[in-house]
Amino acid sequence: MTYDVGALRAEIPALQSGVAHFDGPGGTQTPARVAAAIADALTGPLSIRGRLTPGEVNAENLVQGFRRAVADLVGGDPSGVVFGRSATQLTYDVARTLAKDWSPGDEVVVSRLDHDANIRPWIQAAERAGARVRWADFDPQTGELPPSAVGDLLTDRTRLVAVTAASNLLGTVPDVAGIARLVHRHPGALLHVDGVHYAAHAFVDQPGLGADLFVCSPYKFLGPHHGVLTASPELLERLRPDKLLPSADTVPERFELGTLPYESLAGTIAAIDVLAGLAGLAGDGPGGRRDRLRTAFAAIERHEGALRERLEAGLAGLPGVTQRSRATERTPTLLLTFDGRTSADASVFLAARGVHAPAGSFYAVEASRHLGLGDTGGLRVGLSPYNDENDVDRLLEGLEAFLRS
């Protein structure tokens, strides 16, 4: 299996500037093919989706192609793919919809490991319904969130469990399938999984994870800025979101408010095709796109894993750096703090050397506080499929210089 990082880098115009990007967890740099697909969609004939004119047919094909591409990415049904402006918006919408059926005394479980986008919408929806919120805590020493931390909170009144598939602050990958098995012992409970950070690094198997609802955001995996929610069409059929009277009541259209941004859908199809192509197989090679994505993500994991080892070996030799990412299963995203120096200073120092690694708590404010880092967080170093050994070496040299400065 080949993984040609040079070929991928050559496809990404922003990397030609020479900057070493460790800011992928905030949003990846975009391949030219993705930008071209967006431009082609906009400059071809394009109308509201329909079946009569070329513009209508182009829009319809983009909608259907988008749903097939996302279903291939997560292992779901194309009819269960809901477009949204962001994961945050989709989670707010689905929380409001589900909460219509919650009563006082019902319970919702959220985790302190999560980005606020998978906490606050549930808390606010629970408050309006009079439901009780229960918190699952991770171990601040290890960063682990074991299934029992969630399982111990479940009761027959649990209506919803919200948990991340990977922490965007620490990289921790909880055992979501194990959590799902516990949740589904309670027939009234649904599991909502935040896959925004996870889907950038791992082959997603939504049915295997046992996620009833799953959100991810293509701008974290080489695509344009929007979000996607996926669920079984049967579950979506049972839900009644607020919608306009004349708008389609079919699934998934019922959940997609207003006209879709067809050009963004085109960009996401292209991003998923770029990912599938990373396996080193030809576009129409053996197996369908889902099979190629499985192979590609295995290659991405090996590539990012090798870079992570190089990075961690280098960090171990830098006195005064504390690495906070310690879970056994985690993405190649490291949170660092520095003795006597702020992570914001480190970020500014590195940026001046063309090494981009941001500092903060990245909206995972509950996690940051639970780690004892307040709202300040740390320096987040995130590896993406386009990083190479040279990037890692420049980061390590930059950190060494920062510590000497």
Ligand X SMILES: Cc1ncc(COP(=O)(O)O)c(C=O)c1O
By the 10 Å C-beta count (0-12 exposed, 13-18 middle, 19+ buried), 135 is classed as middle
What tokens appear for 55 in the block? 């513009």
Segment near ligand X (CB under 6 A), from 50-58, 95-103, 114-122, 206-214? 114-122
Q: Which residue number, 46 or 108, has a Cβ lying nearer to ligand X? A: 108
By CB under 6 A, residue 112 contacts ligand X = no
Q: Which residue number, 75 or 223, has a Cβ lying nearer to ligand X? A: 223
Q: Which residue number, 27 or 277, has a Cβ lying nearer to ligand X? A: 27
Task: Among 20, 71, 74, 87, indicate the residue that binds ligand X (CB under 6 A).
Answer: 87
| Residues facing residue 322 across a β-bridge | 337
Using CA atoms, how far apart are residues 104 and 86, in angstroms rounded to an integer? 29
DSSP string, 81-142: EEEES-HHHHHHHHHHHHHTT--TT-EEEEETTS-GGGTHHHHHHHHHHTPEEEEEPP-TTT
Segment near ligand X (CB under 6 A), from 48-56, 59-67, 189-197, 386-394? 189-197
Using CA atoms, how far apart are residues 68 and 289, in angstroms rounded to an integer? 10
What tokens appear for 83 in the block? 């477009």
Segment near ligand X (CB under 6 A), from 52-60, 86-94, 150-158, 252-260? 86-94
Q: Which residue number, 92 or 203, has a Cβ lying nearer to ligand X? A: 92
CB 26, min distance to ligand X, A: 6
By CB under 6 A, residue 331 contacts ligand X = no
Using CA atoms, how far apart are residues 323 and 319, in angstroms rounded to an integer? 11
By CB under 6 A, residue 124 contacts ligand X = no
Q: Which residue number, 88 or 295, has a Cβ lying nearer to ligand X? A: 88
187: Cβ–Cβ under 8 A, 6 or more apart, which residues?
A: none
CB 92, min distance to ligand X, A: 9
Q: Which residue number, 147 or 218, has a Cβ lying nearer to ligand X? A: 218
CB 117, min distance to ligand X, A: 4
CB 306, min distance to ligand X, A: 24
By CB under 6 A, residue 347 contacts ligand X = no
Q: Tell me the residue ranges of DSSP E strands in 199-348.
A: 213-216, 227-231, 321-323, 333-338
Pairing label, strands 213-216, 227-231: antiparallel
CB 85, min distance to ligand X, A: 8
Segment near ligand X (CB under 6 A), from 80-88, 202-210, 311-319, 389-397? 80-88
Segment near ligand X (CB under 6 A), from 9-17, 82-90, 152-160, 258-266? 82-90
By CB under 6 A, residue 115 contacts ligand X = yes
336, 321 Cβ separation under 8 angstroms: yes
Task: Among 47, 61, 86, 232, indicate the residue that binds ligand X (CB under 6 A).
Answer: 86
Contacts 24+ apart (CB under 8 A), 336-344: 336/378, 336/379, 336/380, 336/381, 337/373, 337/378, 337/379, 338/379, 338/402, 338/403, 341/402, 341/403, 342/376, 343/376, 343/377, 343/378, 343/379, 344/376
- The span from the first CA to the last CA of the chain, in angstroms, equals 43
126, 162 Cβ separation under 8 angstroms: no
By CB under 6 A, residue 88 contacts ligand X = yes
By CB under 6 A, residue 119 contacts ligand X = no
CB 261, min distance to ligand X, A: 14
Using CA atoms, how far apart are residues 27 and 20, in angstroms rounded to an integer? 14
CB 274, min distance to ligand X, A: 19
Question: Restricting to residues 193-252, which ones interact with ligand X according to CB under 6 A?
Answer: 194, 196-197, 217, 227
Q: Which residue number, 15 or 364, has a Cβ lying nearer to ligand X? A: 364
Looking at residue 52, the DSSP 8-state letter turns out to be: S
Residues that bind ligand X (CB under 6 A): 86-88, 115, 117-118, 164, 168, 194, 196-197, 217, 227
